Structure 1
Amino acid sequence: MQNSLIARRASFARGHRRAPSLLSAGLLVSVGLSLSTLSSTGWAQVAASDAAATLPAVSVSASKDAPVAQADTVSAGALGTRKLVDTPFSTRTVTAEEGKDLFATTSNDLFKYDPAVSVTSENAIGENSMFTVRGMPIDTLNSIKVDGQTFPSWDTDLSLEPFEQVELLKGLSGFMYGFGSPGGIVNYVLKRPTDTPYRSVTVGYRSADVFSEAVDLGGRFGNDDRFGYRLNLVNEAGNTAEQNGHVRRQVASLAFDFRITPDLTWSADAFYQKRKTNGTLFGLMFGAGLGIPDASTVTHALTQPQNYYQTEMASFGTGLDYRLSENWHASVKYRFAKENRTNSDSLLYVTDSAGDYSNTLYAAMTRYFYQNVDAMVEGKFNTGSIQHDVVVGAGFQTQTSEYSNSVGWNQGYFLGNGNLYSSTLLTNDEVSIGSNLYRQQRTTQAAVYASDTVQFTSRLSTLVGLRYTQYREHVYNTTGAVSSQYSADPVTPTVALMFKTDQNSTLYASYVESLEQGGAASNTNLNYPDTFGPLKSKQYEIGFKTDHSKWGANLALFRVDQGYNYTNSANIFVQDGTKRYTGVDASGWIALTSEWRVLGGVMWLDTKALGVDDASVEGKRVYGAPRFTATGRIEYNPSYLRPLTLAFGGKYVGNQAVNAANTQFVPAYVTYDLSGRYETKIAGKDVTFRAGINNLFNRRYWTTAWGYYVAPSPTRTAVASATLQF
């Protein structure tokens, strides 16, 4: 479906490009940045014993005795909630506090220092922020979750303020979550009521002129504190650093719970978000035979005043949580979610080596409706000396998509011609948003699943899980008639063997199968509107993970075989052959002293198309997948001034093929970030100041996605915030 929606905007184009220089990679290595990811408990524990300094004019508090908020658990879908170190999969979890230190506004920012993650677009200039994991894109129809339930996130970004943490499960998730691409699962965990009163107010700034205000309130009330609440309100508005850029965002979320008995809790939550960005660009396509120019030479004024992008989202969820006994627990939950999406942005088609392009603006409205019902029972029991940790559950979900039947969606509006190296004002008075919507697609999934984690000894255990899914999809034309349909009833297994080398370390080997929605030919393909059946994927992974007070590490060797769909050289959309991803994903951190901490990671990835009918694609690299990435972050917390923490980070991303035939490439690039945090007290209240610069050296680079288009990177951005907690 993703291929169909995107390919409506333009036909597939091919060209050529010479291999990029390795100078950027050498620069990163030369400064010792072979590093990665986020804050950890070890840093705070090492620093906690040192006294804080006192500054004039304000009262400075010592570093907190409690460690920095660092998640040690992850929601693993059908596996329930587990410790990160006890799962036989590659995972990354980032808490809200860690996100603040990264100045994160999207999941791109949260996982920027994970070497397995590569950005494909940024919402500062594009429609939304997206990334790949180990070269595989996240499925925005099925792989974005809120509290483990599928959430509409087609070309949109969830605001981070209402969420306690965001979890990334790398790779296949068929047993745990059902249908979805093998890139992984992004699960947003909502903030829930706090047991003690919590109040915070945050004001923020982002260049060139964007200001934000956020309020976070939580607590309990009533007899025996049986009622709890958590309220988040956000407002953001101003001119961004991009040409014609302006953003307006409002967010409101409320979570509520009622402890009916000590063992039974009812919860409910509501979420609303509206975001509009002016000065957006869908992307650029380069005609056959054209190379991709150096992004730093291209003008920053590629967008037009008529370009904007808006999304509006609303959700309601409720559930019951019942502790049956000390070892058994049951839950049931429901969620409804809706997304309205309005786009008025341009696709630029570059026609020659001089940089001349035609600008086509696509203006339309689309809607998405999701409903989820899930029930689960978790428990533990023994058979002799063997311990069983079992999960049994069932779920049902529906997804409905509505599209515009309009010129703005199907053909677009021609704005005129321009050049990549100069600014040109282009307009069209006929542009209008098509609001004549029709039901384009409806899918349903009904699933039952069960797993057993068998503990043979204190060190050795195995996991066996099965999910059976009834999957149905109907695609409709503008008259309401079914134009294509398919169904599948897969059984997707998961098998893993785990060995605890010590209490905080796990060596594992796992095998996972998964299915995802098949592709569909676009109206630019000769076989439009053919729709294909599900794509099957298999994943093999061997890994090791450990987390200690002063160091931690994660290592995974993996291979993923995924079905391939692409537009071949005859302009026919096909689904044949296999995409094979083989690689190493490694990251770690170490507290060198009580003042210095170093974090880092690397990913090496080999991708290849196998068994495809098109000779121009057979054996070629998979588009949008870098061969090598390296990330690094150094943190300094001086003993003479404990409230202050400074950080410097960098990321190298290797070159990537733009299309399946590998005739065009975007070059490798390196970016750097600088930031600082200072904690103090003012009038007896905790205050935290943060400031930083993203893309410190204003590196201009290209990202690429979906096998045919590229997008420019955002410019250097200054960020700052102050949080008052009372």
Structure 2
Amino acid sequence: MLNLAAARAPAGPLAAVRFAPSTRFPLTAALLISAGLTLSTVATPGWADETTASPDSTGALPTVKVSAARDAETASPERVSAGALGNRKQVDTPFSTTVVTTEQGKDLNASTINDLFKYDPAVTDAGNNVTGENAFFSIRGLQIDMLNGVKVDGQNFPSWDTELSLEPFEQVEMLKGLSGFMYGFSNPGGIVNYVLKRPTDDPYRSFSIGYESAGVFSEKVDLGGRFGNDNRFGYRLNLVNEDGNTAEANGHVRRQVASLALDFRITPDLTWTADAFYQKRKTNGTLFGLMFGPGLGIPDPDSVTRELTQPQNFYQTEIASFGTGLDYRLSDNWHASLKYRFAKENRTNSDSLLYVENAAGDYQNTLYAAMTRYFYQNVDAMAQGKFETGTFKHDVVIGASYQTQQSEYDNSEGWNSGYSLGTGNLYSSTLLTNDEVHIGENLYRQEATSQTSLYASDTVQLTSRLSALLGLRYTQYRDKVYQPDQSVMSNYSANPVSPTVALMFKLDPYSTVYASYVEGLQQGGAASNTNLNYPQTYGPLKSKQYEVGYKSDHRNWGANLALFRVDQGYDYTNTANVYVQDGTKRYDGVDASGWLQLATDWRIMGGMMWLDAKAVDVDDPTVDGKRVYAAPRFTLTGRVEYNPSYLRALTLAFGGKYVGNMAVDAANTQFVPAYTTWDLSAKYETQVAGKDVTLRAGVNNLFNRRYWTTSWGAYVMPSATRTFVANATLEF
């Protein structure tokens, strides 16, 4: 249930005069076009030649490269987990996907999920974890579902207003668009699946130290290997400690992470796995967001003070998870798995909503101090196999899953109405405090949902080039929302069947043209405590997706092109401050990306997305036909990498991203302007005392561009400042 009791704002109509966006195409966007004429994702191959050794099971590449040509096996992850479709090569799926490995993330100086996918043109930042509660983004204009859109090894994971640390994971996979058949209920924006690091066949040890401005230091350990008779037991251990002052006002971060993955090869065909994961992160100096009252435009972010937070503002999340499973190779053509995962999230917020009241920038600061909890359990069983019927070849997947979610909310003053810290102004810093602020722990069960699913798919090889996919998922969905006294406020059930159909044509072994149709459902929304119709709740929203695409991954170039339409039920707060589900959000767009190795020293990559997102068949005339909030019409990315032939140990990179303007609200009375950011990085690989050492450094948001992000159809957030990062990794 998308209950934006987290969407806290003073009651009142969301009306404002339209902020007229600039129609001029900025010079920086033109520069990005020249850098991104060849379109790309970040999940592109690394530098290596045909003689470069393959990576070991850790994914680590040899330290010093001797050529800049691509090695198809070491460059980019070829396979992606596709839920009910099983594990497949990316080029063999009729959907848009992006996969970024741990090593690629390090080269991007990535510390958040936003950093990991920054050069995917379909991705737009909706918030960050330095000035706000957490880093999160939208895909093709649709926000990731925080309750159902994040997976760990394909299973649901709590991520409400939080994010997972990247260190315990081998790679992160992004599926763009609807996932109803593949994963069940979820927002049609897409799925983010974190793949845990697993035990290595050979001993692996690494130690890293890092620094981020203005004074954040980190230490990281990654250990893996096998032991016992015939090395049947394996382990992988990751430990992270991070602490220090950030570059933001009142900013400080402290983060601890521990993860352990084990396996036992019971027989050559049967493997048992288990893993445990723990993460705790606390950030001081955070905001929930800013909300601008009726008749107000969004000011130039450069004119607003950076000192908007107060000493009492902080945000903390704590996550614990345990998973186990059995993997059995029945034969050369058949494989079965059974897995279970439990996960828990504790979330404590003491951050402020700033409600701007007038053009002079005066605001009311309301601090919400509360605790919430989320509990998830998943059980999944799946079998995947191949067989032939006459001239047709079949790749089938059958499975069943059961998952439960439960949320607990705080019924204290700090959650329901918040604490007033007083008034301030956007253009000057003001110290505001309230001695009455405290975190309540009067938690009650707020919502409980369950999903029981059966699914099956068959990919039929009709000819040597042409194949067809048919998939069906049947789900029993149950959702109950409770009052603090535990009386049932709403009780909803549904038994949908979600189909997927697709045709795929292989132009060559490395290229596919496809057309696909997907249906899906997502949990319905609920009015927040700031809406006039609080606490009204709604049933699930239905979505449909049509996509035609092309994907190719060759030795010296790669490309992805998708033309798509997504129709989704529309939920929004109207100008009367009533939360409604009415009409349809329609997203028509083009998502294109690719990479090209120009010469032995140079490689360019980039991408673009054009998006026409608008409301259709909406009863409210102030919303019908308007742009969907938080959806840019145009994004553009470009990145150039230079790996000089005279010094293969060194790689330099320069990249940028342009994001078009976005509506803040459904009626399009407010807009945040377009922006462009640039990044610069360097990597140097060497040896010290016979051990491999990698040095990395870079500057994110090189020119300290200030901009606004927007989400939830009402709120804006300031961007993070320029950040310098540096780290060193020793492998031994």
Flag whether TM exceeds 0.5 (same fold). yes
Shift of 1:205: 0.4
Provide TM-score, normalisation by structure 1: 0.97
Q: Name the SS of the counterpart of 1:85 in structure 2.
A: helix
- Structure 1 residues 62 and 110: alpha-carbon distance in aligned structure 2, compared to 1, 3 A threshold: closer
On the 8 A contact 1:43/1:597 being kept in 2, the answer is no
Name the residue aligned to 1:562. Answer: 568
* Residues 503-538 of structure 1, C-alpha deviations (whole Å, 9 max, x = no match): 000000000000000111222323222211110000
On the 8 A contact 1:363/1:433 being kept in 2, the answer is yes
On the 8 A contact 1:17/1:292 being kept in 2, the answer is no
1:713 to 700, 716, 719: 719
On the 8 A contact 1:24/1:668 being kept in 2, the answer is no
Q: Name the SS of the counterpart of 1:5 in structure 2.
A: coil
Shift of 1:24: 6.2
Name the residue aligned to 1:33. Answer: 35
1:638 to 637, 644, 654: 644
- Structure 1 residues 36 and 360: alpha-carbon distance in aligned structure 2, compared to 1, 3 A threshold: farther
Name the residue aligned to 2:444. Answer: 438
Name the residue aligned to 2:57. Answer: none
Shift of 1:43: 3.6
On the 8 A contact 1:36/1:599 being kept in 2, the answer is yes
Structure 2 distance, partners of 1:47, 1:282, is 51
Name the residue aligned to 1:4. Answer: 4
1:678 to 681, 684, 690: 684
Q: Name the SS of the counterpart of 1:484 in structure 2.
A: strand
* Residues 109-164 of structure 1, C-alpha deviations (whole Å, 9 max, x = no match): 11000000000000011000110000000000001000000000000010000000
Shift of 1:48: 5.8
Which residue identity is paired with 1:33?
A
2:103 to 97, 108, 112: 97
Q: Which runs of 5+ in 1 are unaligned?
A: 50-59
Write the mapping of 1:327-346 to structure 2, written as runs, cut at 5 A: 327-346=333-352
Structure 2 distance, partners of 1:131, 1:207, is 23
Which residue identity is paired with 1:526?
L
Structure 2 distance, partners of 1:383, 1:580, is 41
Name the residue aligned to 1:372. Answer: 378
Write the mapping of 1:307-346 to structure 2, written as runs, cut at 5 A: 307-346=313-352
Which residue identity is paired with 1:539?
Q
- Structure 1 residues 47 and 105: alpha-carbon distance in aligned structure 2, compared to 1, 3 A threshold: farther
On the 8 A contact 1:3/1:706 being kept in 2, the answer is no
Write the mapping of 1:135-214 to structure 2, written as runs, cut at 5 A: 135-214=141-220
Which residue identity is paired with 2:42?
L
Structure 2 distance, partners of 1:167, 1:372, is 19
Name the residue aligned to 2:609. Answer: 603
Which residue identity is paired with 2:44?
S
Structure 2 distance, partners of 1:579, 1:29, is 30
Q: Name the SS of the counterpart of 2:592 in structure 1.
A: strand
On the 8 A contact 2:591/2:609 being kept in 1, the answer is yes
On the 8 A contact 2:41/2:98 being kept in 1, the answer is no
Structure 2 distance, partners of 1:350, 1:527, is 23
Q: Name the SS of the counterpart of 2:206 in structure 1.
A: strand
1:44 to 44, 48, 61: 48
Write the mapping of 1:476-625 to structure 2, written as runs, cut at 5 A: 476-625=482-631
On the 8 A contact 1:2/1:519 being kept in 2, the answer is yes
- Structure 1 residues 4 and 485: alpha-carbon distance in aligned structure 2, compared to 1, 3 A threshold: farther
Does 267-276 or 571-580 show the bigger shift? 571-580
Write the mapping of 1:244-393 to structure 2, written as runs, cut at 5 A: 244-393=250-399
Which residue identity is paired with 1:697?
F
Structure 2 distance, partners of 1:675, 1:299, is 29
- Structure 1 residues 22 and 71: alpha-carbon distance in aligned structure 2, compared to 1, 3 A threshold: farther
Q: CA RMSD, aligned part only?
A: 1.6
Does 471-480 or 8-17 show the bigger shift? 8-17
Name the residue aligned to 1:14. Answer: 15
Q: Name the SS of the counterpart of 1:7 in structure 2.
A: coil
Q: Name the SS of the counterpart of 2:281 in structure 1.
A: strand
On the 8 A contact 1:69/1:95 being kept in 2, the answer is no
Structure 2 distance, partners of 1:343, 1:724, is 37
* Residues 191-236 of structure 1, C-alpha deviations (whole Å, 9 max, x = no match): 0000111100011100000000000000000001100000000000
Structure 2 distance, partners of 1:515, 1:403, is 25
Which residue identity is paired with 1:272?
Y
Structure 1 distance, partners of 2:52, 2:530, is 61
Structure 1 distance, partners of 2:713, 2:216, is 33
Shift of 1:626: 0.1
On the 8 A contact 1:210/1:236 being kept in 2, the answer is yes
Shift of 1:23: 5.4
Shift of 1:38: 2.0
On the 8 A contact 2:632/2:662 being kept in 1, the answer is yes
Structure 1 distance, partners of 2:189, 2:65, is 42
Provide TM-score, normalisation by structure 2: 0.96
On the 8 A contact 1:468/1:492 being kept in 2, the answer is yes
Q: Which runs of 5+ in 2 are unaligned?
A: 54-62
Q: Is 1:134 the counterpart of 2:140 in the alignment?
A: yes
Name the residue aligned to 2:58. Answer: none
Which residue identity is paired with 1:4?
L
Residue identity (%): 73
Shift of 1:62: 4.5
